[in-house]
């Protein structure tokens, strides 16, 4: 199926900016301070969830002033769709997890089914502790379980279809300089 690039461009032009790049960067600064306080005396294994977590991780990791090991995993429910389907493990964790402190970085906590499945998998594989950090927490009651939140969150954002800083619109605009909401979705 061919993508309509004009529609993709219009979507960005017409989108509502919910958080500017400066606001996002300020939130990442706060997260970096909190994570450094938490992990400065440990040796965490940091997993970046692809593809969404890559931009967030690229902005966050250089701000963390402690030794850490970085790896990636790829689990998704969306693909090119705008609504979730079954969990698809594209790349499972490959590092030894026995007794490790693990931090999972992702772009957004929407309903949280993907993140919950990742955390469960890492614990089942022997991680001593698994914590999560997300750039965006989408505000709504449809979480995987009541009260679900990441251990570290940058921004709480309205329940809209978002893109930018790792989140995408039909595979595009992960690179948008801010957090944007699609009009009409």
Q: Which residues of 54-92 are buried (b: 16+ CB within 10 A; e: fewer)?
A: bbbbebbeeebeeeeeeebbebbbeeeeeeeeeeeeeee
How many angstroms separate the CA atoms of 135 and 8, rounded? 23
* Closest among 85, 8, 56, 82 to 164, alpha carbons compared: 56
Contacts (Cβ under 8 Å, ≥6 apart) of 15: 163, 180, 181, 182, 183
Q: Which of 6, 110, 156, 159 is catalytic?
A: 110
- 110 is known as an active-site residue: yes
The residues carrying an active-site annotation are 110
């Amino acid at each position: 199926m061919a993508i309509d690039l004009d529609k993709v461009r219009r979507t960005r032009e017409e989108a509502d900016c919910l958080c500017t790049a400066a606001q996002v960067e300020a939130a990442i600064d706060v997260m970096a301070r909190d994570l450094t306080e938490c992990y400065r005396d440990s040796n965490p294994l940091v997993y970046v969830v692809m593809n969404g977590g890559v931009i967030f991780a690229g902005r966050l990791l250089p701000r963390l002033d402690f030794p850490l090991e970085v790896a990636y995993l790829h689990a998704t429910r969306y693909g090119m769709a705008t609504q979730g389907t079954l969990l698809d493990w594209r790349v499972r964790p490959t590092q030894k997890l026995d007794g490790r402190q693990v931090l999972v970085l992702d772009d957004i906590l929407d309903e949280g089914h993907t993140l919950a499945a990742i955390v469960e998998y890492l614990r089942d594989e022997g991680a001593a502790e698994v914590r999560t950090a997300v750039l965006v927490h989408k505000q709504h009651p449809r979480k995987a379980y009541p009260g679900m939140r990441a251990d570290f969150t940058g921004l709480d954002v309205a329940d809209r279809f978002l893109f930018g800083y790792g989140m995408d619109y039909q595979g595009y605009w992960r690179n948008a300089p801010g957090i944007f909401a699609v009009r009409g979705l």
